[in-house]
Amino acid sequence: MASVLKNCPAPAKLNLFLHVTGRRPDGYHLLQTVFQLLDAGDSLDFACRDDGIIRRTTPIEGVPEDDDLVVRAARLLKEAMPDRERARHAGVDIGIDKRLPMGGGLGGGSSDAATTLVVLNHLWQAGLDRRALMALGLRLGADVPFFIFGRNAFAEGVGEALTEVATPDCWYVVLEPGVAVPTAAIFSNPELTRDSKAVRITDFPDAAFRFRKNDLQAVAERLFPPVSEALEWLRQFGEARMTGSGACVFCAFARKHEADAVLQAAGTTGKPGWKVWKAKSIERHPLSHLLES
């Protein structure tokens, strides 16, 4: 069994639409969304150690090691391992190539945590199946189970009830407007729409995704004007939408050269501080094979 795995992908996600359909008594919002995996994201390195110590070897500004979802995921898996003697020795050094922005709505932290659970379950020979890892992931954040699920999905509940769906095969242009949007600021806003009519998974033939909306977008645009400016600019090329609770916005294109033309335009008419990039849609998480028998 390998003790080191490098360049482990933690792909970004987009919310092709996002509806808020209600609120539970505990304050959590009920959502409906379609998650789309991208062929771009963060990358993590794992080097096992046998002294039980879990360390993050890459400093991340503003994120103390003990608060990092990656470290928390590793500790949570260690606690859940059925073989307590194996768990006692299970340690790891984790390096992170952080490419996705924090507060961007691309699922970066959640994806990093999911990759950590999947890879360490393999390296430590922890023996947990996909369902058990998804349950652990939900304790870290509502988006984490999706990345462990590993396929594009229609999600309900707080985002943990997942059904695989077919999504369009296309290119996406993603615009980072240079601002971080705290999720709590959006969900706590009194102007947030919380009563969108529930939809059914059968409502989603491929082309229907582009007719949906993101209920969080209007609040994010009001609170964070750079989000609104980014959407206005990107709309000249197609139907632009915000992902998650923001701040990143995106637009879909059928062909690569169309996406490339937008990147070229961003170099001449985009605003200082923007980061604009393209990514291809993918059907499965690149690490799905680690959970397949």
Tell me the two tokens of residue 178.
């240079």
Residues with Cβ < 8 Å from 229, sequence gap 6 or more? 177, 271
Instruction: Fill in the DSSP letter of residue 93.
Output: E
For residue 31, give the amino acid letter: L
Q: Look at residue 255 and give its three-state secondary structure.
A: coil
CB 286 within 8 A of CB 111: no
Counted residue by residue, the chain has a size of 293
**Annotated active-site positions, please?**
13, 143
Segment (H or E) for 47: strand 29-49
CA distance 101 to 71: 18
Other C-beta atoms lying within 10 Å of the C-beta of residue 19: 22
DSSP string, 165-228: ------EEEEEE-S----HHHHHT-TTS---PPP--GGG--GGGGGG--BTTHHHHHHH-HHHH
Residue 119 contacts residue 72 (beta carbons within 8 Å): no
